[in-house]
Each structure stands twice: as structure tokens, then as C-alpha cells.
Amino acid sequence: MNKIILNYIIKGFFKKFFVVIAVFYCFGLILNLLEEVEFFKNLNVSILIPLMLTSIYIPSLIIKILPFIIFFSSLWFMLSIKNNKDLLTIKIFGYSNIKIFFILAFCAFFVGWAILFLVNPITSKMSKYYEQIKSNYSLDVDHLISFKRDGLWIKEKIKNKHRFIYSTKLEENFLNDLTIFHLDDNSNLQEKILASKADISSNDWILYDVKVYKSSNGIFKENYYNNINISSIYNLSKINKLFKNFDTMSFVELIFNFKELVDGGYNKNFLNQSLHTLLILPFFLLLMTGIASILALSNLRKKNNLQMSLLGLILVIIIYYLKDFSLALGQIEKVPLILSIWAPIFALSLFTFIGVIQINEK
């Protein structure tokens, strides 16, 4: 009988979980499809393109709001078994409130790790594909920037020529080992610049230890300079902002290729932020299950489900606000970045521990 009840709890929880995912997916599909249609409205493309892009974008969005989904799945399941008297039956067979919580918490914790190791690598590849397709249709295609395995590549349009920049590494506010090509509109090479490094803290770049090869009647003449200045639409701040979205990096890639990514020019703080934000996911899901248990099982009387759901929604919004506020403190270096990511988890753990002890007495 205990095995039957255990299966009932687990299956019931996952049924609610997948229904809530389906609801959020449909809402996300509708809202993002409108955004994609707006993006492509002046381009001659089939409706299948916006629909395809929306379909591959939503899974990464679902992962971001997974704590919301787990919370409402847990709350819905526990309110349903309480209102239809199944909770009393389960208690008769020796399942206390805290035991029910531990079963759901284990399920949520397992979901978190399964998402990180099995689903996140797939959604990260989908996000990469999404970004590639969008960039192909971007109206700003004359100005592109990307980090690749071999370094940083930049393309920009300046007056009547094109500039291509390659650097092996971005370190602090310097691009190291620069190669710059200036081409005319017919893709003829006009100028090649080599520099040991460039200070890109502003749009007025300062290049050091410079060799300039300039074309004159088809012959390239070489000149040496200690430093020269060039203007660019990019600076350190803008480059960093372009790569704050780490949806294209999976948890597995961050773990096994962290040093390689740093050596390739990715900002170490942003990588740490992305890694630890993903790492707290299983613990966050577990705690959201605990908060849902505290709300639903605080007493055995029937309550208005809508009222309880609204209360839960308000509580979750407050938690997310405090979580983002803590992260912002880490980003501006008021507190250590890693601590700012984990502090909400520690605080919620204390609250959940006290609450779960109390509901076990009900």
C-alpha cells in the first residue's frame, strides 16, 4: 500500500507539473510569436520562420521560469489532495505532511539536475541556432561581433569601407594581438594593421606597438608606430553587454570549458554568474516546493484555491525581486558576486526549514 501511495503522489505531482509547463509554453508561444512577427514584418519571409524561432526560443525561457512552474505545480497538487480529502487518506497510511514534502522536494531536486545535465545542453544549442538565424535577418548586419574558439571577431562599417578586427583574447580593458583589415566596398584590401594590444575602454581605441601596411598603387608600405588611435562603435562596456546573455552556454560547457572560455576572452565574472545561477536551480526548485507546502498544508481546512494561488504569486514575485536585488548588489561589487547569488538560497532555506517543521505538527 505504501508503494501505491508513493506512486500516487509522484505521478500526481508530475501530471500537474507537465500541465503547468504546457500552459506556460502556450502563453510564451503566443506572446513571443507576436514579437517575432513584429521583427519580420518588413522582411519577405514565410510565417514558418517566426513560428520556428518562437518554438526553439521558448524552452530556454521555460528553464528561466522553472521555479515558478515547480511552485504552482506543487501548490496545485497539494491543494487538490487536501480539498478532495485524499490528504486525510494518505495520512491514515502513515504519510505525514513533512514526508509528503520530502517526496515532492526530492522530485523537484531531481528535475533540477535532470534539466541541467540533459535539457540545458539541448536548449543552449537551440538558443545558438536562434541567435544565428536572427543575426542573418538583422538590419544591423554591417555591425557584428562574436566570440569564437580562436578569439574575438568584429565587423563594422565605417564611412565608405569595411573593417574586420580579430583579437586572440579580451583581457580586462585590452584586446590582445590585434589584426585589423580595412576593405573598400569592392572587398579590396586597403590597409592592414597589427598591434600587440588595444585599450578599448572608450570608443576611441588606443593601439600599441603598431605596424601599418597601407596600399599605394597596389604596393603595401610598412610603417611602425608606438601607438595610434582609431574610432569604433564598440567599447569594453558594449562588448560585455552583448555577451551577458549566456543562454547559448550550457551548464556542462561552463563546468568543463570554464578556463578555455576565460582564455578565449569571456568575462570571468559573467561566466561565474551564469555558472552559479544555473547551479542553484535544483536547490531553488526544492525550496519553492517547500514554500508551496507551507502555504497549502498550514491547516487542513479548505480554502479558496484562487485566493491561495494569488497569495503564492505575490510571495514568489517578492522572492524573485529579492533574488534579483541580491544579484544586483553582487554585480556592482557591494557584496561578493558568488555570495549574492547564494544568499537568497540560504535565507529561503532557513525560512523553509522553520515552516516545514510547523506544518509537520498539523
Residue 19, all three cell numbers: 500541465
Q: Above 90 in pLDDT, residue 176?
A: no
Q: Can you read off the three cell numbers belonging to residue 347?
A: 535565507
pLDDT on residue 264: 62
First to last CA, the chain: 23
Instruction: Please report, for the chain, the start and end positions of each structural domain, with discontinuous segments joined by +.
Output: 2-138+247-359, 144-232
| Average pLDDT, rounded, for the chain | 84
* Helix, coil or strand: residue 45: coil
Residues 34-63 have pLDDT tens digits of 888 888 877 777 888 888 889 998 999 999
Average pLDDT for 295-314:
74
Core vs surface per residue 314-351: b (16+ CB within 10 A) or e: ebbeebeeebeebbebbeeeeeebeebbbbbbeebeee
Instruction: Band the pLDDT of 164: cuts 50, 70, 90.
Output: confident
Chain-centroid distance of CA 65 in Å reads: 10
pTM confidence score: 0.77
Q: Counting Cβ atoms within 10 Å, is residue 176 exposed (0-12), middle (13-18) or buried (19+)?
A: middle
| Residue 151 backbone zone (phi > 0: left; psi -120 to 50: alpha; other: beta) | left
Structure confidence at residue 139 (pLDDT): 47
Higher pLDDT pick, 216 / 183: 183
Question: How does DSSP classify residue 154?
Answer: E
Whether the CA torsion 80, 81, 83, 84 is positive or negative: it is: positive
Burial class (CB in 10 A: 0-12, 13-18, 19+), 139: exposed
Instruction: Tell me what the mean pLDDT of segment 329-344 comes to.
Output: 88
Residue 171 is predicted with a pLDDT of 78
The pLDDT score that the predictor gives to residue 141 is 45
Residue 334 has pLDDT above 90, yes or no: no
Could you tell me the pLDDT band of residue 223, with boundaries at 50, 70 and 90?
Answer: confident
* pLDDT tens track for 256-301: 888 877 776 667 777 888 899 999 999 999 999 999 988 888 765 6
- Chain centre to alpha carbon of residue 160: 38
d(CA 256, CA 251): 9
The residues facing 164 across adjacent strands are 155, 181
The span from the CA of 183 to the CA of 188, in Å, is 5
